[in-house]
Amino acid sequence: MGMEPGGVEWRIDDAPVPYEQALAAMETRVAAIRDGTASELVWLLEHPPIYTAGTSARPQDLLDPSRLPVYRTGRGGQYTYHGPGQRIAYVMLDLEKWGRDVHCHVWRLEEWVIATLGRFNVKGERRDGRVGVWVAGRDEREDKIAAIGVRVRRWVTYHGVALNVDPDLGHYRGIVPCGIDPAASGHGVTSLARLGITASMPEVDMALRATFEEMFGTGPICRAD
């Protein structure tokens, strides 16, 4: 644990945290932030293998319902996979301080991931119409390396970023990830490990913390359209 100069607390859980437990903890913290009884929080963790369905999830995109547990969640987005080897960053910030602009908040999260990947010499990129962070590969293929889904309650954010460090990518075959069919679009998912980057979770955490200040340490910043 620790505090950034701006008063944002950092928490890291080493053991996988059950999804329902994490969701309950986030909701409690968000209420406390809004009431002024707790500081803002960045929570780094992993989940046991699960699928989560965002508010835009389509039933036909769950290809293998029996493969893993499925949780409905109030975050934006569609189906995604969470599991060991994926760094989840739940970001609970008060947009009364950072600017009442959810699109800008998503832009900052994307920029944060892009800066973090840069620490490992990986070029993360945005794509119009596709939330998250992408890596351009060979033969014009583009693979998603980080998913982003947020929810805002009384202008306090929660949920956040899922960065693939070294998860079991085979589990993505049970869903249409984020509504983008790899067979139809040519877009898939990737990880630092698949890109040949050997990075431990503590090293990724150090990079996330170092680059957080670049995106969130100077007040409202946004170059989103």
- The catalytic residues are 178
Tokens of 119: 């620490």
Residue entry with tokens 């490990």: 193
3-state secondary structure 94-163: EHHHHCCCHHHHHHHHHHHHHHHHHCCCCCCEEECCEEEEEEECHHHCEEEEEEEEEEEECCEEEEEEEE
The set of residues, in sequence order, having a beta carbon less than 8 Å from that of 210 and lying 6+ positions away, is: 119
CA distances 76 to 17, 72, 168, Å, are 21, 11, 23
Tokens of 209: 């913390």
